[in-house]
């Protein structure tokens, strides 16, 4: 009995498993059939959200219902084409453009809105925020005029490596930040005329620049340009006056708050003293572009000297040896002085006045005594003979003969000296003022000679030693010429010898 029961139970269990398998297979086939029927009966629709599109299969009847299924939340300013109530048909194209997000910071509030505005003013109108024309709008930290176009807006799609849902769900849209600085009123006064301006500047200098007021270096602003702007602030501008100053040959253009010419020069550190000329006068009140001239005037005293050379006179002295001199009086130049007052304007002479003329020193003659004492002197010649002379003269010696005297052999005077003597050795040519003609001389290396000739080039301390044509020797050197005793009469003697040619230093 027991065995039969077990067999029946096993047979029943196998039947049940077969039955369950059959039911699962039928269910799966039914599901696949229903899924196929669902796909076949769904409408394919292309949906684009903010420029990103996907193709969707849907059984929804209207566009609005489909967008709800897709999780696309619509805001009042969003644009949907076609209208959300439009029935869905196969291959319908749906476009959703959402307004761009904007964050507005103003009056202590932080507003987040969406707007299609192209300019700050349009966005603020959408946000219901009123602005004054003098208020300042900062877009992403940069000032922007109310009617200026807003920066280009952009959206990016994140790169995905696995399914994150629909493409627009990975879309990141740039947030535009807008801040409003409210203008405040301040009073600006210049030239006694106050006027009110509204400004968003932080400092006085920025506020004046916004009002396009031109400030010059010489202007004074109170409070100073770096002071902070507060509501009702009063700004006083004391204008400077432009002036043109001509000084020391230069023209300087500047500005000053001085009231008179004198004050302006003092402010600029220009010192006026003495005879300086200022035009216009120091008391003149300044006006725009006044031309001020300062002429530096100086006076100088010039003393000029006129020198009159002194004369030198020679006086004979019989106690002095011939050819010696002694100074009796040194002599002095005459000095005449003139004092002149000269006036200069900017370094140029403009006036000259002679004030005085006087003789500072009278001229005095120089007196030199020359010797007239003649005594016999002796000289031992190279051959040992004793020569007595009365004067020795240092002279430049040359030589000549009849053939070299420059006279034609056909001339009647050929070979004749100035005194008519026949040319020979022992005749010398001299300057008769220095050595009287027919004097006897002695020249070392030449011997005795007779002064019987002259020559055009033989002047002063020149002597020409004569030779015969067949024994001519050439001379060109300084020698001592001894004038033999006795001396000639006093009237034939030149007591003071000229130094020509100049005797070389021994």
List the structure tokens of 78.
């969003």
How large is the average pLDDT for residues 145-172? 75
Question: Is the pLDDT score of 3 beyond 50?
Answer: no
Strands (E), 362-439: 366-373, 377-380, 386-400, 427-429
334: CB partners within 8 A, 6+ apart: 307, 308, 309, 310, 359, 361, 362, 363
CA angle at 368 for the pair 363 and 370, rounded to the nearest 5°: 160
Q: What backbone torsions phi and psi does residue 127 show, to the nearest 5 degrees?
A: -85, -5
Q: 215 falls in which pLDDT band (50, 70, 90)?
A: confident
Is the predicted pLDDT of residue 392 greater than 50, yes or no? yes
Best mean pLDDT range from 38-42, 51-55, 244-248: 244-248
Between the CA of residue 67 and those of 55, 77, 242, 322, what are the distances in Å?
A: 13, 16, 74, 152
Mean pLDDT computed over 403-425: 92
* Rg, the chain, Cα only: 67
Between 396 and 267, the more confident residue is 396
Q: What is the pLDDT of residue 10?
A: 45
Cα torsion 240, 243, 249, 250: sign:
positive
> What average pLDDT is seen over the chain?
87
High-pLDDT (> 70) share of the chain, % = 91
- Contacts by 142-145 with C-beta closer than 8 Å and gap 24+? 144/120, 145/120
| 20-47 mean pLDDT | 68
Q: Is the predicted pLDDT of residue 340 greater than 50, yes or no?
A: yes
- pLDDT score of 15: 52
Least confident of 11-15, 25-29, 133-137, 221-225: 11-15
Could you check whether the bond before residue 179 is cis, i.e. omega within 30 degrees of 0?
no
Instruction: Give pLDDT, residue 159.
Output: 64
Report residue 433's pLDDT band, with 50, 70 and 90 as the boundaries. very high
Structural domains in the chain, CATH included, are 46-97 (no CATH), 100-181 (3.10.20.90), 184-238 (3.10.20.90), 254-295 (no CATH), 300-370 (2.20.230.10), 375-492 (2.40.40.10)
Asked whether the predicted pLDDT for residue 165 surpasses 80, the reply is: no
pLDDT band at 31 (very low <50, low <70, confident <90, very high): low
d(CA 195, CA 69): 63
- Cα 200 to Cα 210: distance, rounded to the nearest angstrom: 9
- For residue 312, pLDDT over 60 is answered with yes
pTM exceeds cut of 0.75: no
pLDDT by residue (tens digit) across 282-295?
899 989 899 999 99
Q: Between β-strands 109-115 and 100-106, what pairing exists: parallel, antiparallel or unpaired?
A: antiparallel
Q: Measuring CA to CA, how many Å separate 325 from each of 276, 277, 371, 375, 435?
A: 62, 65, 6, 16, 20
């Amino acid at each position: 009995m027991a065995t039969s029961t077990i067999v029946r139970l096993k047979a029943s269990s196998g039947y049940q498993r077969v039955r369950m398998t059959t039911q699962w297979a039928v269910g799966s086939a039914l599901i696949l059939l229903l899924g196929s029927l669902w796909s076949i009966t769904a409408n394919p629709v292309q949906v684009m959200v903010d420029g990103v599109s996907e193709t969707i299969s849907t059984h929804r009847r209207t566009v609005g219902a489909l967008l709800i299924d897709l999780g696309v939340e619509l805001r009042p300013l969003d644009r949907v084409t076609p209208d959300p109530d439009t029935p869905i048909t196969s291959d319908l194209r749906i476009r959703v453009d959402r307004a761009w997000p904007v964050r507005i910071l103003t009056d202590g509030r932080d507003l987040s809105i969406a707007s299609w505005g192209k300019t700050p003013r349009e966005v603020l109108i959408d946000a219901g925020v009123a602005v004054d024309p003098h208020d300042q709008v900062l877009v992403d930290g940069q000032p922007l005029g109310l009617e200026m176009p807003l920066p280009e807006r952009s959206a990016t799609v994140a790169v995905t490596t696995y399914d994150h849902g629909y493409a627009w769900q990975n879309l990141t849209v740039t947030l535009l930040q807008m801040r409003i600085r409210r203008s405040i009123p301040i009073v600006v006064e210049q030239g006694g005329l106050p006027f009110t301006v509204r400004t968003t500047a932080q400092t006085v200098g920025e506020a004046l620049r916004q009002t396009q007021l031109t400030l010059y270096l010489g202007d004074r602003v109170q409070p100073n340009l770096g002071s902070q702007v507060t509501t009702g602030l009063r700004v006083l501008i004391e204008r400077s006056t432009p002036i043109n100053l001509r000084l020391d040959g230069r023209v300087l253009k500047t500005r000053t708050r001085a009231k008179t010419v004198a004050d302006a020069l003092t402010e600029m550190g220009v010192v006026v003293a003495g005879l300086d000329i200022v035009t216009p006068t120091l008391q003149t009140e300044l006006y725009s572009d006044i031309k001020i001239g300062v002429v530096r005037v100086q006076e100088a005293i010039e003393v000029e000297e006129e020198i009159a050379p002194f004369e030198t006179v020679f006086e004979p002295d019989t106690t002095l040896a011939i050819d010696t001199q002694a100074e009796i009086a040194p002599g002095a130049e005459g000095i005449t002085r003139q004092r002149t007052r000269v006036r200069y304007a900017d370094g140029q002479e403009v006036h000259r006045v002679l004030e005085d003329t006087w003789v500072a020193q009278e001229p005095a003659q120089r007196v030199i005594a020359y010797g007239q004492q003649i005594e016999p002197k002796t000289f031992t010649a190279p051959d040992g003979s004793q020569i007595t002379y009365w004067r020795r003269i240092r002279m430049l010696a040359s030589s000549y003969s009849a053939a070299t005297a420059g006279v034609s052999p056909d001339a009647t005077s050929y070979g004749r000296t100035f005194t008519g003597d026949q040319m020979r050795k022992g005749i010398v040519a001299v300057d008769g003022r220095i050595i009287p003609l027919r004097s006897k001389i002695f020249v070392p290396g030449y011997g005795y000679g007779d002064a019987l000739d002259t020559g055009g080039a033989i002047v002063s301390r020149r002597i020409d030693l004569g030779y015969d044509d067949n024994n001519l020797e050439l001379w060109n050197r300084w020698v001592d010429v001894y004038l033999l005793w006795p001396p000639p009469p006093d009237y034939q003697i030149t007591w003071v010898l000229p130094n020509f040619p100049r005797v070389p230093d021994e």
